[in-house]
């Protein structure tokens, strides 16, 4: 079987944090400390109001700009919402969709998430689609069913080359921003394997091997290598630790140190 080297990500999701001044300082801190970052895809996702500001700081650097959400229409009477056209206008290349905070705190459905995915891809934005189970669902042994539902509904209507705009982020809800419950690297590994099996059924084996699957949930400089060295983990989506330049940079350096594990991983998975 053919082997694929998947894109490797380190993504900073700033959520609803920072002032304008802090956002500018943080983005500059990341760029200044970056050095040579190999083939790593590094993305900063500031809050909407600072996209232009942070985009200006990132200009000419190897760090891409991403948004944390969008509304699935190009324009219209949708008070308070932000369209893919606007994101592109502000220099975004990526958008995070289906984050658990949107699903669980704002009540967004799999179907609505799917509308966003379809619209973003059509607008030529690259999508990071987040999936993950709650603690209750994990304890009730529903993880597989939840991931399957989020992936099959989330990706409905996205096929062929449109899939090249996609990466998946596995974020167990119980491990996000959580001091008490951390997922173990083994749990991340197992869930990533499961996701790739489901992707194979949904999109076919070739795309399942091509699509990067990132891990997110309390990733810190201290544990980043343990996650990044797991076969099938193609990067990390960072919340809290992306708000301090030195911590985010430490995670980037951990990801740079993993290329060998990555190429071994691709081969191992492809013959599995
Ligand atoms: P965390 O957030 O790193 O603070 O757990 C991750 C995320 O929600 O994307």
* pLDDT (tens digit per residue) in 6-20: 999 999 999 999 999
Residue 101 bears catalytic tag: no
pLDDT of 269 above 60: no
Residue 99 bears catalytic tag: yes
pLDDT of 221 above 70: yes
Instruction: For 140-212, list the strands marked E by DSSP.
Output: 166-170
Q: Are strands 235-238 and 94-97 parallel, antiparallel or unpaired?
A: unpaired
Q: Work out the pLDDT band at 4, boundaries 50, 70, 90.
A: low
Tell me the average pLDDT of the chain: 93
Give exposure, 197-232, as e/b (b: 16+ Cβ within 10 Å).
bbbeebbeeebbbbbbbbbbbbbbbebbbebbbbbb
Alpha-carbon distance of 249 to 61, in angstroms, equals 15
Candidates 101, 108, 171, 247; catalytic one: 171
pLDDT of 260 above 70: no
Alpha-carbon distance of 213 to 74, in angstroms, equals 28
Q: Work out the pLDDT band at 265, boundaries 50, 70, 90.
A: very low
CA-nearest residue for atom 3, ligand 1, is 239
pLDDT of 179 above 80: no
**C-alpha 4 to ligand 1 mean position (Å):** 28
How far, CA to CA in Å, does 272 sit from each of 2, 3, 142, 251?
Answer: 12, 11, 25, 29
Q: Work out the pLDDT band at 197, boundaries 50, 70, 90.
A: very high
Alpha-carbon distance of 33 to 114, in angstroms, equals 37
**C-alpha 35 to ligand 1 mean position (Å):** 25
177 lines ligand 1 (CB under 6 A): yes
Confidence at residue 1, expressed as pLDDT on a 0 to 100 scale: 47
What is the distance of C-alpha 250 from the center of its chain?
A: 18
104 lines ligand 1 (CB under 6 A): no
Q: Specify the higher pLDDT residue, 263 or 167.
A: 167
CA-nearest residue for atom 7, ligand 1, is 239
- Ligand 1 atom nearest 169 alpha carbon: 9
Q: Work out the pLDDT band at 259, boundaries 50, 70, 90.
A: low
Instruction: Report the candidate in 248, 257, 222, 259 with the shortest Cα–Cα distance to residue 31.
Output: 248
Instruction: Give the Cβ contact number of residue 2 at 10 Å.
Output: 7
Whether the full predicted model's pTM is greater than 0.85, yes or no, is yes
What is the distance of C-alpha 101 from the center of its chain?
A: 14
- Both tokens of 58, joined, read 């990132």
pLDDT of 128 above 80: yes
pLDDT in tens, 19-69: 999 999 999 999 999 987 668 999 999 999 999 999 999 999 999 999 999
């Amino acid at each position: 079987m053919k082997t694929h080297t998947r894109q490797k990500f380190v993504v900073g999701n700033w959520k609803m944090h920072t002032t304008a001044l802090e956002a500018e300082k943080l983005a500059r801190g990341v760029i200044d400390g970056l050095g040579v970052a190999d083939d790593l895809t590094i993305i900063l996702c500031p809050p909407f109001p600072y996209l232009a500001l942070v985009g200006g700081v990132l200009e000419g650097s190897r760090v891409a700009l991403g948004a944390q959400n969008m509304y699935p229409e190009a324009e219209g009477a949708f008070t308070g919402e932000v369209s893919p056209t606007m994101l592109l206008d502000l220099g975004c290349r990526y958008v995070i969709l289906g984050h658990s905070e949107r699903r669980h705190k704002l009540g967004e459905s799999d179907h609505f998430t799917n509308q966003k995915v379809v619209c973003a891809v059509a607008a030529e934005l690259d999508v990071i689609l987040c999936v993950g189970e709650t603690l209750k669902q994990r304890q009730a042994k529903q993880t597989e069913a939840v991931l399957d539902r989020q992936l099959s509904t989330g990706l409905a209507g996205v096929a062929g080359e449109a899939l090249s705009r996609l990466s998946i982020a596995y974020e167990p809800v119980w491990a996000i921003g959580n001091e008490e419950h951390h997922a173990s690297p083994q749990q991340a590994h197992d869930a990533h394997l499961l996701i790739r099996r489901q992707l194979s059924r949904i999109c076919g084996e070739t795309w399942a091997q091509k699509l990067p699957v990132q891990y997110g949930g309390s990733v810190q400089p201290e544990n980043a290598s343990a996650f990044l060295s797991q076969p099938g983990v193609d990067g990390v989506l960072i919340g809290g630790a992306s708000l301090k330049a030195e911590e985010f940079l430490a995670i980037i350096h951990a990801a740079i140190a993993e290329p060998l594990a990555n190429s071994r991983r691709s081969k191992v998975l492809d013959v599995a």
